[in-house]
C-alpha cells in the first residue's frame, strides 16, 4: 500500500500513520522572535509594522510603530539601527533598511497630521518626570497612554535633551524634532522648561505626584588634566555643541583640535568645520578600529575633510600650538606612551572625552544608591532604593544612545503603572529567536536595499543642511516587502502546496492554517520548506501542546 493510499483509509488510527511504525514527531505552527525585534533597544515590533507598510497601510503601520516608540521621525534619523545589523537578510544580500521606512512613516505622520489612537485606562495618578530628553518624553508618552497625568520638568530652555543639545541639525533637523515633541504635548503632557529640580521630595509633595521618573541626560563633560597656558582656549564638547545648536556658536579660530574618539567628538569636529574652521583635527589615543564612534560617522568626517591623529594624546596646550605624544598599543590593546612627541598648530581644543549625569540632587534621599560615576542604581523594575522614585536613560548605568533611553522610558512607564495600580508588571516569556540558519528560502531574493540620497562631502561640509534624505512611498513599499518575516507565518502557501498528504487546511486570508493530524505523517516536508521558520517539529509525546498563532513578538 502506498503512503498516499494509506492516508485515505479512515479505519486506520493515528498511531499507524507515519513514515515508520509510529509517528515520532508532529509539526505545529508557532510564532517566534525575529532578530530585528530582538535587537531593538526601544522594543519596537518592527516586523509587525513592516508587514502593514508592505501592504501600503502606512497610517496603520505608524500606529503600530508608536505603540512602542513615540518618536519615529527622530529615530529614523539618529538611531544607529542595531536591528539592521541583526537582520537575517544580511546573509542573502543586504539588510532591510528599517530606519529609512521608520523615518518615512514618521515624516508622513507629521505631514498628514496623524494622531495616536489609544484608550487610556481609568484611575490614573499624577507622575512627575525630571528631564525632557528621549527617556523622559517616552515615559511621559506611555504613561499618558496608560491613563496617567504627567508633567515633565527640565532645567533647559528647550525640550529634547541631548537630541537638541548635542546632535547637530545636519543629522536631526529641529523642525521634525519639535513636531514630535508637540504631538506628545497635545496628548496632555505638560512640559515645564527652565525648571531645575533641586528638592525632589518637596516637589513631589507640592505637586501631589504619586511617582517620579528621573531621566536627566549626560550633560556634564568629564574633566581631564592637560597642562595649558590659556584655559580659555579649551572648551568641552557638550557646551560647544549646545551653543552651536542654539545659534550662539563659539568661534574658536581657524585651526581646531578635538580630543576624543566617540560620536560626540565626530559631531564637534564636523560642526567646527561648518562654522568656519579651515582645519579640524581629531586626536585619539587608540587606533581607528578601537574608536567608540560608529564607523560611518568616522567615514563621513573623513569625507568632509576632518583630519585624524590616531594613536596620539595631548600632553600640553600652548599658545597657537600643542604638544602631542605618539602612543602604541600593548598586547592587551591598551595605549601606552612612546616618548616621541610632535607639535600641532591649534587655536583651540574641544574636549570630547565622555559625559556624566548630574545626579547630586538625589544624594540626600534615603535609599538611593550610586555608582562611582554618579549613575543611580535601580532594580529590574527601574525603581531606585526609594519607593516611588524610578530612574532610567543616562541616569542609570549602561550603554547610552537615544534609542536605549527611549526604551528605558517605555519600560519605566510600564513598571510605574503597575506599581501605582498595585498590579506589578512583568514581561511575558519571550518566544524563541530565529536566526538565519533556521529559514529556508525557496524563492528569488535578489532585491538590493534602496539607497538613500545624501549630500556629498565637500557640498555638506559648509552647511548644516540635512545630509541624508528620506525615501519615497514607492521605495518604502519596496523596502518593507524585502522583509523575510522571520519566525512568523505570512501565508505564502508553501506548506499547503508541499504537503504530500493534504494534511494542511487553509483557514482563510489572515487566519493562517491548521494541521489535520488524522492525515499528517510527521514527514516534516512542511517544516523543511517553510521559508520563515513558522513551523516547528515537536516530539509526539508533547503533541498535546496547542498550535500557536498570534502577533509577532517583540521586546
Q: Where are the domains of the chain?
A: 3-31+488-542, 35-116+448-480, 126-219+364-421, 222-355
Average pLDDT in the 322-347 region? 93
**SS3 label, residue 528:** helix
Q: Is the pLDDT confidence value at 2 over 70? A: no
Count CB atoms within 10 A of the CB of residue 426.
11
| Predicted model pTM | 0.90
Q: Which of 485, 483, 487 is nearest to 535 (CA)?
A: 487
Domain 3-31+488-542 shares a fold with domain 126-219+364-421: no
Higher-pLDDT residue of 79 and 224 is: 79
* pLDDT value of residue 8: 38
Please say if the pLDDT value at position 330 is more than 70: yes
Q: Which CATH superfamily is domain 222-355 in?
A: FAD/NAD(P)-binding domain (3.50.50.60)
pLDDT, position 547: 42
Q: Is the pLDDT of residue 256 over 80?
A: yes
pLDDT at 217: 84
The per-residue pLDDT for 346 is 93
Q: What is the pLDDT of residues 399-439, one digit of tens each?
A: 889 999 999 999 999 999 999 999 999 999 999 999 999 99
Q: Please give the average per-residue pLDDT across 169-195, as a whole number.
A: 97
CATH of 126-219+364-421, one of 3.50.50.60, 3.20.20.150, 2.60.40.10, 3.40.1280.10: 3.50.50.60
pLDDT for the residue numbered 526: 95
Residue 490 has pLDDT above 60, yes or no: yes
Q: Are 280 and 272 in contact (CB under 8 A)?
A: yes
pLDDT, position 203? 95
Residue 548 has pLDDT above 60, yes or no: no
If one compares 32 and 357, the residue with the highest pLDDT of the two is 32
Q: How confident is the model at residue 250 (pLDDT cuts 50, 70, 90)?
A: confident
Whether residue 444 is predicted with pLDDT greater than 80 in this model: the reply is no
Please give the Cα distance from 152 to 239 (Å, whole number).
Answer: 23
pLDDT exceeds 70 at position 305: yes
pLDDT for position 348: 92
* Average pLDDT of the chain to the nearest whole number: 90
* N-to-C CA span, the chain: 50
Average pLDDT estimate for 226-254: 84
Kindly report which listed range (274-278, 480-484, 550-554) carries the lowest average pLDDT score.
Answer: 550-554
Q: What is the dihedral of CA 495, 496, 499, 500, to 10 degrees?
A: -160
DSSP characters over 78-114: H---HHHHH-GGGGTS----HHHHHHHHHHHHHHHT-
Q: Which residue has the higher pLDDT, 22 or 298?
A: 298
Say if domain 3-31+488-542 classifies as CATH 3.30.70.20.
yes
Share of the chain above pLDDT 90, in %: 79
Asked if pLDDT for residue 553 goes beyond 50, the answer is: no
Mean pLDDT of 288-316: 94
Task: Give percent above pLDDT 70 in the chain.
Answer: 92
Architecture of the structural domain at 35-116+448-480: Orthogonal Bundle (1.10)
pLDDT at 226: 79
Summarised one tens digit per residue, pLDDT across range 189-207 is: 999 999 999 999 999 999 9
Q: In 3D, which of 88, 376, 395 has the Cα closest to residue 219?
A: 395
pLDDT given for residue 554 in this prediction: 41
pLDDT at 4 over 90: no
Flag whether pLDDT at 227 surpasses 80.
no
Q: For 145-156, what is the mean pLDDT?
A: 97
Average pLDDT over residues 294-299: 94
Q: Is the pLDDT of residue 230 over 70?
A: no
Amino acid at each position: 500500500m502506498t503512503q498516499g493510499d494509506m492516508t485515505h483509509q479512515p479505519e486506520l488510527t493515528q498511531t499507524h500513520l507515519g513514515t515508520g511504525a509510529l509517528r515520532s514527531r508532529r509539526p505545529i505552527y508557532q510564532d517566534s522572535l525575529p532578530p530585528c525585534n530582538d535587537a531593538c533597544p526601544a522594543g519596537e515590533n518592527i516586523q509587525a509594522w513592516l508587514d502593514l507598510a508592505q501592504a501600503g497601510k502606512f497610517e496603520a503601520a505608524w500606529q503600530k510603530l508608536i505603540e512602542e516608540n513615540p518618536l519615529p521621525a527622530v529615530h529614523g534619523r539618529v538611531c544607529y539601527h542595531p536591528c539592521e545589523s541583526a537582520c537575517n537578510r544580511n546573509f542573502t544580500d543586504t539588510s532591510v533598511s528599517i530606519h529609512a521606512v521608520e523615518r518615512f512613516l514618521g515624516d508622513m505622520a507629521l505631514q498628514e497630521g496623524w494622531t495616536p489612537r489609544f484608550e487610556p485606562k481609568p484611575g490614573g495618578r499624577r507622575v512627575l518626570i525630571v528631564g525632557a530628553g528621549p527617556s523622559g518624553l517616552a515615559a511621559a508618552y506611555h504613561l499618558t497612554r496608560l491613563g496617567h497625568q504627567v508633567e515633565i520638568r527640565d532645567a533647559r530652555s528647550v525640550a529634547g535633551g541631548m537630541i537638541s543639545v548635542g546632535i547637530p541639525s545636519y543629522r536631526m533637523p529641529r523642525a521634525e524634532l519639535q513636531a514630535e515633541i508637540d504631538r506628545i504635548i497635545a496628548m496632555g503632557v505638560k512640559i515645564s522648561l527652565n525648571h531645575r529640580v533641586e528638592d525632589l521630595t518637596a516637589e513631589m509633595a507640592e505637586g501631589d505626584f504619586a511617582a517620579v521618573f528621573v531621566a536627566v541626560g549626560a550633560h556634564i563633560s568629564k574633566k581631564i588634566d592637560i597642562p595649558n597656558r590659556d584655559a580659555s582656549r579649551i572648551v568641552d564638547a557638550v557646551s560647544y555643541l549646545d551653543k552651536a545648536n542654539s545659534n550662539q556658536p563659539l568661534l574658536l579660530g581657524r585651526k581646531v583640535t578635538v580630543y576624543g574618539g566617540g560620536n560626540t567628538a565626530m559631531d564637534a569636529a564636523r560642526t567646527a568645520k561648518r562654522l568656519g574652521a579651515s582645519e579640524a583635527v581629531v586626536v585619539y589615543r587608540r587606533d581607528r578600529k578601537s574608536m567608540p564612534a560608529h564607523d560611518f560617522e568616522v567615514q563621513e568626517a573623513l569625507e568632509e575633510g576632518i583630519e585624524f591623529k590616531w594613536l596620539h594624546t595631548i600632553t600640553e596646550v600652548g599658545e597657537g600650538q600643542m604638544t602631542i605624544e605618539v602612543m602604541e598599543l600593548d598586547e592587551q590593546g591598551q595605549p601606552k606612551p612612546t616618548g616621541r612627541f610632535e607639535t600641532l598648530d591649534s587655536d583651540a581644543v574641544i574636549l570630547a572625552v565622555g559625559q556624566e549625569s548630574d545626579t547630586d540632587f538625589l544624594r540626600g534621599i534615603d535609599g538611593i544608591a550610586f555608582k562611582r560615576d554618579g549613575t543611580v542604581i535601580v532594580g529590574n523594575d527601574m525603581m531606585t532604593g526609594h519607593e516611588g522614585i524610578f530612574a532610567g536613560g543616562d541616569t542609570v548605568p549602561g550603554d547610552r544612545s537615544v534609542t536605549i533611553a527611549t526604551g528605558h522610558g517605555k519600560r519605566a512607564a510600564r513598571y510605574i503603572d503597575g506599581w501605582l495600580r498595585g498590579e506589578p508588571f512583568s514581561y511575558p516569556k519571550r518566544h524563541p529567536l530565529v536566526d538565519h540558519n533556521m529559514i529556508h528560502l525557496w524563492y528569488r531574493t535578489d532585491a538590493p536595499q534602496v539607497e538613500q540620497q545624501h549630500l556629498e562631502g565637500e557640498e555638506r561640509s559648509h552647511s548644516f543642511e540635512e545630509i541624508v534624505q528620506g525615501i519615497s512611498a514607492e521605495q518604502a513599499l519596496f523596502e518593507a516587502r524585502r522583509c523575510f518575516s522571520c519566525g512568523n507565518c505570512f501565508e505564502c502557501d508553501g506548506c499547503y502546496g508541499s504537503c504530500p498528504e493534504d494534511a494542511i487546511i487553509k483557514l482563510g486570508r489572515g487566519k493562517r492554517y491548521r494541521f489535520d493530524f488524522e492525515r499528517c505523517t510527521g514527514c516534516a516536508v512542511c517544516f523543511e520548506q517553510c521559508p520563515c521558520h513558522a513551523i516547528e517539529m515537536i516530539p509526539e509525546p508533547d503533541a498535546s501542546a496547542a498550535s500557536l498563532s498570534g502577533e509577532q513578538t517583540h521586546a
